Amino acid sequence: MTPVSENNDDIGGSGYSLEDLSAYLDRGRIPRIPAVERNAECQAILASMERMGRLSREIVEEQATEPLSESWYDSIMREVMREFRAGRDIPLARADDGTELVVTEGALYELIRAVGDGIDGLLVGRVRLDQPEPDAPLDVRVSVSVRFGRAMNIAVDEMRNGIRAAIERHGDLRVGRVDVTVGDVHLDEGEHS
C-alpha cells in the first residue's frame, strides 16, 4: 500500500485511498497501519466495506444464482464514500464555558446504516440529512430495499423508529421528520427484477 500524495482520494487525511483501504481489508488488516487504525473516517469506511461484503455474500447465498453486478457494488461504494467524508459538523450541545460538542454528518450516516443492518430483510441505500438552522430538528431521509416476502410497512416502521431512537440516544439532537422510502425489493431465489 502506497500513501497517497496530493490526491483527492486521500481519506480523512490518512494518506490512503479507498483502493488502499480495500486492499488493506483484503489482507486482514495485516500489517497494521497506525495512520488508518487511528483515523475515524478510515475506520467508518472499513466498517462499511466489511458490512457490504457480508451483505453481498448473504444476498448471493440467499437469492442469486448469478453474481452481483459490478455496477451495483460500485454504485453502493460510491454512495458510501460520499457519505463517509466527514461532512459538516452538526451541533449536539454547548457547555456553559462555550465549548460546543458536535457530531459529523459522516458519523450520523454510519449510525443510520448500523440501524438498517440490524433489521432483518432490509438494506440501506441513500441517506440524506437536513438541518436548515443550527437549533432546528434534524430531518432524515432514507431509501431502503426490502427482501421479497417481508412486510414493507413493518420494516419501514422498524427503520424509522430505530433511526429516531439511535440519534436521540447518542446525543442531544432533536429529530424531526424521518422519511423511509422503499425504493427496491430483493427477490427470492430464481426470480429476476
Q: What pLDDT, in 10s, does the model give residues 11-20?
A: 888 888 888 8
Give 133's Cβ-side CA count (13 Å radius): 3
Q: Please report where in the chains the cell 416502521 appears, as a residue.
A: 157
CB atoms within 10 A of CB 58: 13
**What's the Rg (C-alpha) of the chain?**
18
pLDDT, residue 188, reads: 47
Which grid coordinates are listed for 117?
A: 443492518
Is residue 123 predicted with pLDDT exceeding 80?
Answer: yes
Domain boundaries, the chain: 1-82, 86-193
Are 166 and 114 within 8 A, CB to CB? yes
Residue 157 phi/psi, 5-degree rounding, is: -60, -40
Instruction: Give the percent of the chain with pLDDT over 70.
Output: 69
pLDDT, residue 93, reads: 62
pLDDT, residue 190, reads: 42
The residue-averaged pLDDT of 162-182 equals 88
Q: How confident is the model at residue 7 (pLDDT cuts 50, 70, 90)?
A: very low
Query: How far is 16 from 191, CA to CA, in rounded Å?
Result: 40
pLDDT digits (tens, 9 = 90+) for 124-142: 888 888 887 877 888 999 9
pLDDT, residue 25, reads: 84
pLDDT, residue 174, reads: 86
CB atoms within 10 A of CB 48: 22
- The superfamily (CATH) of domain 86-193 is Cation efflux protein, cytoplasmic domain (3.30.70.1350)
Is residue 75 predicted with pLDDT exceeding 90?
Answer: no
Residue 183 phi/psi, 5-degree rounding, is: -105, -5
pLDDT digits (tens, 9 = 90+) for 41-71: 888 888 888 877 776 666 555 554 555 555 6
Kindly report the CA angle at 15 between 10 and 17, in degrees rounded to 5?
Answer: 45
